[in-house]
Structure 1
Amino acid sequence: MFISVEKCYLKYKDYIYIFLFSIYFFTMFLSSTALIEESIYSFGETLYKFLKYIKYITYFSFLCIIVYSYVKQNLKRVPTFLVLFFAGVSSLLTRDFQVLSFALVTIAATGISNKKFFKAYVIFSFSLLVIVLFLSSIGLIENVIYDLGSRNRNTLGFLWTTNAPMFFFFTILAVLYRYHKKLSWIELLSLWLINILLFQLTNTKFVFFLTSLSLFLEVIFSKYEDSIYKIFEKKWVKYTVCNIPGICCLFSLFSSLLFNPNSFGWQFLNSLLTNRLVNGHNAISQYGFSIFGQPIEWNGYWIGSEATDIYNYVDSSFLQIAIKDGLIIMLISIIAYMGILYWGIKKKSYWLVTITILVLILCVTEPRLINVSYNPFLIFSTVMLNNLEHADKRDKGIDNHESVN
């Protein structure tokens, strides 16, 4: 009987993972909306607890998938053990399950079809985003408006103004990856107009710029892909690209560490980054860097935050991970993204490489580097954990490699 169950699992492995990920994504998505805020909705706290229990069930399911793959040697045992071990240690020391949960969701994706996964992700993410925005527009989910004087910022049914454009950014990247060179100019223009609308409502400049840039690069790649590929083939370009995760990390850490409030240059850069440098500098001064992680409660501006809360939020993924989750997790994250870029170059999937670079640039100012509930491209990091020599040839798909690994 066990053999028949195993055959059934192997036959439907992709769909089982996609189903579990959809549940996980649904719970994380709703947790980013105003529906869980008890100060607005009487059922908010109850809904939050319900979603938390559902997430625990999916985490256990992902763990079962990992254990099965581990026993069957489909995973490289030492690297997988080390990632889970340090993620677990970090979660224990920070008293936050987040890092370990991201590791479970990501590692369980080893060997799945990226063609199927990204098709499902696009449909699910875009549908949920449209539903929340629609319910917010008709008043069923509260849209909190922050008055900044020159321009208002709308939360659009989410906990903070950046959530909606952030989900939209990663959904657009998933669309552009899954349907590369298949979108018409009308579809691309429509996506850009939606991006403009979200910018007008939320005033999220950098996300708007990167989303616009991704759509523009899709057009450029479609027209001049051969010429662009020749650029990527140069050795110095390959070397530079593979080191971009480390470059972004060093910039994030040292720009905040060396920030000087008395310098005009630093003040200008801090203003350009909307006070991210001074916030990062203060966080380093107060908490320092940790090796394995430390408990920190980040207080930012979102629905439900108290006026008495001391603002200490760090937006940069690299800096936030290094301070709270630990330098070991930061190193693992950098290696993971270096692995994605190296694999993309090796497979000549330069469009994936370009998208990954956009994600890394965003994460200099936003905390989405290892947050797989926003960032689905993290699953490509499992290429370094896959122990199947020909897993990437399992079937044909995008760029002639449908399998994630």
Structure 2
Amino acid sequence: MYKETKLKQLKTNIFTVGFFSWWTYGILSSMELSLSLSNYVIQGLRLFGLLLLVADFFLTRKIDIKRFLLALIIAMFILFNNVMLTSTHYFFEIMIIVFAGVGIDFKSFLKKSFYYFLLVLTLIVGLASVNLIPNVTMFHNGRMRNMLGFNWPSFSAHYYLYIVSLAIIVRGKKITAIEIAILESLNIFIYLNTRTKSPFYLVTAFLILWFVFALLKYNISNLFIVKWGFLGFLPMISYIVYYLSMHYLTFTNLNQMLTGRLRLGNNALIMYPLTLLGKKTSLSAEVGVIGQTYAYVDSSFLQYMIKFGMISFIIFIGCFMMLQWRIIKYKNMFVLLAMSLVIFDGMFDPEFIQANYNVYFVLLATLLEPSSQWLAENESEETFLE
């Protein structure tokens, strides 16, 4: 037993270092600073991280053969459909992350992720605020927006949203009013600089919900409507986004409020009708580039449907729904709340399908294990103020 515990700690530590190295490559690639850094440094972090993750997989001692074989079949399809047909290579890296995550201490990993991500984002935003690293200002859609060290204004806001989701899991029912005030102050600071509305409002709303539920000391995951509403959340909002985009002329005010996202989704659906399998698409995210028209689909779920096809989409949301079922089964209210926050964010923004934001891809590894006992541990860690 002692030997197994030590091996699990070793596996978790190697996985964590590997994932953080890979994640750091992702965040550096999205910064203005990347223009002055050697590409060998950035790609070196990526390669080092992936090599550690591959090595970590071979430390896995207990594998459920039936689950592993099913996962392998799904992985082979994703390789063919998402990687080969669409040339989207990061899905290969996501599969490495998921397989390497089998058998790690997920609670320890999420806790370390929260602290590391918060430290890195605070460092980037702090240095950019005092102009020690590039902090470009742009005027877009009538808004003056600071990029806070990144190469697009909304990046810091979405990274912060995922950090708050991790804070919900790490602190759980022991959250204090002072901590909520600190988290909301950071949220306001990022909003005033970037003018990124959606993550600001979502973070504010979920901080309030988190504090209220923690005070009430009532586990809302026991409620019938919460259980089944959470389980049906992904297919429901995916259909809503598709329907609103197809009929955007009926929802002109909503389209305007969403800065044209419904119209862009409609244009993409006309250019690239939904198919069973994936296909190469060209939806430019460039702004102000001569000869290119901005055509990016922001919704994670609509983008996935268009680019990777309906078979892959059903597998994708099916895997996350199985993860959600486990969260319901173990009645972990705070993981439920954290997942709801990032799913809401994915409704009209692309970060949910990007693993350098969505750390919850790692939790799909729990589906290769017969149980997820760590979810039953609804206790939280010490205050991060201490």
Question: What TM-score comes out, normalization by structure 2 length?
Answer: 0.89
Q: What is the Cα deviation at residue 358 of structure 1?
A: 1.6
Could you tell me which of 246, 257, 263 is aligned with 1:272?
Answer: 257
Quote the Cα distance in structure 2 between the aligned partners of 1:108 and 1:193.
36
Alignment pair present for 1:289 and 2:274: yes
Contact map agreement 1:259 1:281 (CA 8 A) in 2: yes
Contact map agreement 1:86 1:328 (CA 8 A) in 2: no
Q: Which residue of 1 aligns with 2:239?
A: 250
* SS of 1:142 mapped into structure 2: coil
Against the structure 1 CA distance between its residues 318 and 200, is the aligned structure 2 distance closer, same or farther, given a 3 Å change threshold?
same
Alignment-mate amino acid for residue 85 of structure 1: M
* SS of 2:157 mapped into structure 1: helix
Q: What is the Cα deviation at residue 384 of structure 1?
A: 2.1
Q: Which residue of 1 aligns with 2:349?
A: 366
Quote the Cα distance in structure 2 between the aligned partners of 1:119 and 1:237.
26
CA distances 1:160-210 after superposition (whole Å, capped 9, x unpaired): 011001111111111121111223211210110111111111111110011
Contact map agreement 2:162 2:358 (CA 8 A) in 1: yes
Q: Which residue of 2 aligns with 1:205?
A: 197
Alignment pair present for 1:118 and 2:110: yes
Alignment gaps of 5+ in structure 1:
401-405
Q: Which residue of 1 aligns with 2:14?
A: 16
Q: Which residue of 1 aligns with 2:158?
A: 166
Q: What is the Cα deviation at residue 36 of structure 1?
A: 2.1
Could you tell me which of 354, 358, 366 is aligned with 1:383?
Answer: 366
Q: What is the Cα deviation at residue 348 of structure 1?
A: 0.9
Q: Which moved more, 1:63-72 or 1:309-318?
A: 63-72
Quote the Cα distance in structure 1 between the aligned partners of 2:358 and 2:260.
24
* SS of 2:128 mapped into structure 1: helix
CA distances 1:289-315 after superposition (whole Å, capped 9, x unpaired): 24332222442246xx73432211110
Against the structure 1 CA distance between its residues 399 and 298, is the aligned structure 2 distance closer, same or farther, given a 3 Å change threshold?
farther
Q: Which moved more, 1:158-167 or 1:10-19?
A: 10-19
Q: Which residue of 1 aligns with 2:177?
A: 185
Alignment pair present for 1:25 and 2:8: no
Q: Which moved more, 1:91-100 or 1:149-158?
A: 149-158
Could you tell me which of 77, 84, 87 is aligned with 2:75?
Answer: 84
Q: Which residue of 2 aligns with 1:322?
A: 305
Alignment-mate amino acid for residue 244 of structure 2: S
Q: Which residue of 1 aligns with 2:373?
A: 392
CA RMSD of superposed structures (Å): 2.6
Q: Which residue of 2 aligns with 1:403?
A: none
* SS of 2:351 mapped into structure 1: coil
Against the structure 1 CA distance between its residues 313 and 258, is the aligned structure 2 distance closer, same or farther, given a 3 Å change threshold?
same
* SS of 2:343 mapped into structure 1: helix
Q: Which moved more, 1:111-120 or 1:357-366?
A: 111-120
Contact map agreement 2:158 2:351 (CA 8 A) in 1: no
Alignment gaps of 5+ in structure 2:
381-386
Q: Which residue of 1 aligns with 2:383?
A: none
Quote the Cα distance in structure 2 between the aligned partners of 1:150 and 1:137.
22
Quote the Cα distance in structure 1 between the aligned partners of 2:162 and 2:252.
31
